[in-house]
């Protein structure tokens, strides 16, 4: 497994370890264990085929595709679209749509989904179409070479930009939620003010790490929960936003930058949707 970068670079360490434990890797014709030492000159043979990851159904669900090539595709996810099937959402998800658009993606772990956006979060998501692309994207996300920038509207007037460095872990009592806590995983967010309104602020956030619900937890920790975030602070929707017709979560993945194999980078932006734009316009016009 240690030498997989040179021998089987298209597969992740965890996948190779599982195949070794299943006896699919032989050394000079003999099955080995993960801890066995391999000497130079040995012949390694890997007998493994990527298997379909689940019994999911392809569904013809419209996708707003911002970019696509042979290896990846980037979508602008709408509000309300669940990313992966789960309890209460057996189908009608992004994964079901991907299976219809790229049938062979069934052979890629999690159908190429390497990061997620919450159901009501909008914006850019990158998906791997091949195992090689998936391995590379996971590595890039772990090394933080993929840049993700979000926009959000928070309750309250934010005075200035700054940095939030606060560890995040699973909430002790409410397991569906995350929280800032001692002993949690490191989480760092950088933010700056785009526009201030009477009782709200339009903010841009750059993630240095990518923890579950990181922006939602960090903004709440800073005393400015995201408008429409009924799980993290805005239980009844802020009255001003609700009166303007904006009963939704105001969190949008605005920009995505992905390194390319040739040394360049893919830099994409996705504008906010019509409801968001109208809400900002009305907030700006409010006395």
Q: Which of 91, 118, 236, 262 does the annotation list as catalytic?
A: 118
Q: Which long-range contacts (CB under 8 A, 24 or more apart) does 260-264 make?
A: 261/136
Element housing 131 (H / E): helix 131-143
Among 248, 251, 241, 249, CA closest to 286: 241
Q: Which sign does the torsion angle of CA 235, 241, 244, 246 carry? A: negative
The token duo for 115 is 């990061």
> For the chain, how far is it from start to end, CA to CA, in angstroms?
63
Residue 215 φ then ψ, to 5°: -65, -40
40 CB burial (10 A radius; 0-12, 13-18, 19+)? exposed
* Residue 118 appears among annotated catalytic residues: yes
Q: What is the largest CA-CA distance in the chain?
A: 78
Residues contacting 224, CB < 8 A, separation 6+: 154, 155, 156, 158, 201, 203
Active site residues: 118
């Amino acid at each position: 497994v240690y030498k997989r970068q040179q021998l089987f670079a298209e597969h992740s360490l965890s996948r190779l370890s599982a195949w070794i434990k299943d006896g699919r890797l032989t050394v000079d014709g003999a099955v080995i264990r993960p801890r066995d030492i391999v000497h130079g000159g040995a012949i390694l043979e890997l007998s493994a085929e990527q298997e379909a990851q689940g019994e999911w159904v392809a569904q013809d669900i419209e996708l707003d595709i911002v970019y696509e090539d042979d290896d990846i595709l980037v979508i602008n996810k709408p509000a309300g679209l669940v990313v992966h099937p789960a309890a209460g959402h057996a189908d009608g998800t992004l994964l079901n749509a991907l299976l219809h658009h790229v049938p062979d993606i069934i052979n890629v772990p999690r159908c190429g989904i390497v990061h997620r956006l919450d159901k009501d979060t909008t914006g850019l998501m990158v998906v791997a179409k091949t195992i090689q692309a998936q391995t590379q994207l996971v590595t890039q996300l772990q090394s933080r070479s993929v840049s993700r920038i979000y926009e959000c509207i928070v309750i309250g007037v934010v005075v200035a930009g700054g940095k939030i460095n606060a560890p995040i872990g699973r909430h002790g009592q409410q397991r569906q939620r995350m929280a800032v806590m001692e002993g949690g995983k490191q989480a760092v967010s950088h933010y700056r003010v785009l526009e201030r309104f009477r009782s709200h602020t339009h903010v841009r956030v750059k993630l240095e790490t990518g923890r579950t619900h990181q922006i939602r937890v960090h903004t709440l920790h800073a005393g400015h929960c995201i408008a429409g975030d009924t799980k993290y602070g805005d239980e009844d929707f802020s009255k001003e936003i609700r009166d303007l017709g904006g009963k939704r979560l105001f969190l949008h993945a605005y920009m995505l930058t992905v390194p390319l194999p040739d040394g360049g980078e893919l830099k994409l932006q996705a504008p906010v949707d019509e409801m968001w734009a109208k809400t900002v316009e009305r907030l700006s016009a409010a006395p």
